[in-house]
Structure formats: C-alpha cells, structure tokens
Amino acid sequence: MSIETNTPDLLELELGIPRFILWFVMLPVLPITLIGLANLIGGEFLTALVLLVGLNGAFIAGYIALSERTRLRLDAGTGLASITRTSRLGTRRRDYPLEALDSAELDRSHTAREDRSTSKVVLVFRDTRPATRVTLSRWSVSGDGPALVANDINAWLRRHFGDEATAPGRHLSD
C-alpha cells in the first residue's frame, strides 16, 4: 500500500501485495516442474500430470489471484473517483462521482483468536440507498496498513470538501 500523489486536488494510491511475496509464491514451481519432467521421462505419466498440471496450476492460479493491484485516484479536477484493478488477466476500471464518495471505512473480520483481526478498506458512496460499498482489495491484512489508508482517504476528503464534510448527510468516519 503506497500513496503516489497527495495534493489538494489529487489523491492517488496503490494497494497490492509486495512483489517479493509473489516471488515466494512462485518459488516452488521450478522444482515441481523439474520433478514432474523427471517423472514423465521415467514413464510415470500420471504422477507427472499431477505435478505439472495440478500443483503448478494451483501455484499459478494463486499467483494470478494475489498479483492483483488496485489503484485509487480521487481527482477533484475531473470530479471522479476511479478504481483501476490490474491483474495478469487484464485491467478493469470503474469511475464513480467524487461528490458521492462519503468516506473510507474498514471492513474487519475476526479470526478464531479474538485478539487478532484482519481488515480491508471499503469506500462508501452515498448516492444510493443502501449506500454502495466498494472494497479496494480482495484480501484482508492484519496490522495498521488499512487503517492508515482509510485515514489518508478521509483526511483528503475533509480537505477537499472543507466544511461540507461536517454537513448533514456527509459522515466521514475513520
């Protein structure tokens, strides 16, 4: 999670799993491929098929799922809140009216141990009833990263909208 630009007219941030973690996900692919090829050469077709297609397929599917990066752009000049999701399968972009963006909140989930929770950032748009809630990432993380991102978004909204942020119907919650 990193903030690219934070000016009074533009907030750009990117959320994604660090690249070095993605490399660790792909690390087992090479040895599994070599073992699978050795089994194929040795005549163990079914074992080679399980290794080459099954296990490598699972690692590659995990890599594709985890490689998704989300870019949020709050642009006062265009009046748009743009969410661009980029993965190995392509790019998707959704634009929302910036004036409809009410706040950024945390969606918390608790694990079996109550002292550990994970969270992800959710944008709340007030132009629909019930409010439209857009999750910025598909995964939840522990730590204070999501809270810091939500606080940065809410602080930018307060600066941008000024006194409107305290007007009825406009609730900015951290």
Read off the pLDDT of residues 52-100 as tens digits, 9 standing for 90 and up.
888 878 888 878 877 888 899 999 889 999 999 988 888 999 999 888 8
Considering the domain architecture, whether residues 12 and 82 belong to the same structural domain is answered as yes
Q: Which secondary structure element, helix H or strand E, spans residue 40, and what is its range?
A: helix 29-41
Considering the domain architecture, whether residues 60 and 84 belong to the same structural domain is answered as no
> Which residue type does 128 have?
T
Considering the domain architecture, whether residues 60 and 76 belong to the same structural domain is answered as no
Considering the domain architecture, whether residues 32 and 97 belong to the same structural domain is answered as no
Query: What's the CA dihedral at 132, 137, 140, 141 to 10 degrees?
Result: -130
Question: What is the domain count for the chain?
Answer: 2
- Kindly calculate the radius of gyration of the chain based on its CA atoms and give it in whole angstroms: 21
Considering the domain architecture, whether residues 59 and 78 belong to the same structural domain is answered as no
Indicate the pLDDT class of residue 115, thresholds 50, 70 and 90.
low
Considering the domain architecture, whether residues 39 and 92 belong to the same structural domain is answered as no
Query: Which residue among 49, 66, 83 closes a domain?
Result: 66
Predicted model pTM: 0.70
